[in-house]
Amino acid sequence: MVRLSSPQLYYVLSGNDFTLDIDNPAEPKIVCMGNTPQKIQIYGAVLSLYVSRLVKLVNQKGKLKSSLVLDEFPTIYLNTMDCLIATARSNKAATCLGIQDFSQLCKDYGHEQADVIMNIAGNIVSGQVTPYKSNQYIVDLILTYAEKYPGKLLFKENENE
């Protein structure tokens, strides 16, 4: 708790100049929060608290469309992420999680919760994947889709196409 004690953090947490209901039709807003690698253990707890509250406010009927973009997602802890992904679309809220590697998500959320989060996601966008487990996950995902929907995948045989 001593590490949470800083003038900057007290300043941010003491204000009441806005609320976290970003999709309020009467007063929409954009909230941007960030973490720093040097103080990830300190600020991660505070950010998790804010994001947890924001998720509860956003995931309700009758609000504006909204988007929650959580880059470096494993650096914060959100116990109900699977529920958010499962229900947010019906409440006009899009969820985008940035994860560098599946093993990072497993380390910080545990294998069971990481599997749930990855399997419930509607879309997965992947770049170069080098660790075996992440690579195998993407390959299995593509092969499963190819079997379920034959002829729907487009592959380039040549980069010049």
Q: What is the pLDDT of residue 140?
A: 85
* Domain residue ranges of the chain, discontinuous segments joined by +: 2-98
| β-bridge partners, 94 | 67
Q: What integer best gives the mean pLDDT of the chain?
A: 82
Q: How far apart are CA 55 and CA 78, in angstroms?
A: 9
**Residue 112 pLDDT level (bands cut at 50, 70, 90):** very high
As given in the structure block, the two tokens for residue 60 are 């309700």
Three-class DSSP category at 67: strand
**Residue 147 pLDDT level (bands cut at 50, 70, 90):** confident
Q: Residue 159: pLDDT above 70?
A: no
Q: What is the pLDDT of residue 155?
A: 60
Among residues 102, 94, 88, 85, the alpha carbon closest in space to that of 141 is found at: 102
Among residues 114, 49, 108, 106, the alpha carbon closest in space to that of 82 is found at: 114
**Residue 154 pLDDT level (bands cut at 50, 70, 90):** low
Q: What is the pLDDT of residue 65?
A: 92
Q: How far apart are CA 143 and CA 98, in angstroms?
A: 23
Structural element, H or E, at residue 68: strand 66-70
Q: How far apart are CA 4 and CA 76, in angstroms?
A: 15
Q: What is the pLDDT of residue 101?
A: 84
As given in the structure block, the two tokens for residue 32 are 């941007």
Q: How far apart are CA 92 and CA 104, in angstroms?
A: 29
Q: Residue 4: pLDDT above 80?
A: no
- pLDDT digit string (tens) for 43-91? 778 888 888 888 888 888 888 999 989 888 888 888 888 888 888 888 8
As given in the structure block, the two tokens for residue 106 are 């497993």
DSSP one-letter code for 80: T
Q: What is the pLDDT of residue 158?
A: 59
- pLDDT digit string (tens) for 94-108? 889 988 888 888 898
**Residue 35 pLDDT level (bands cut at 50, 70, 90):** confident
Three-class DSSP category at 66: strand
* DSSP letter string, 16-29: -S--S-TT-TTS--
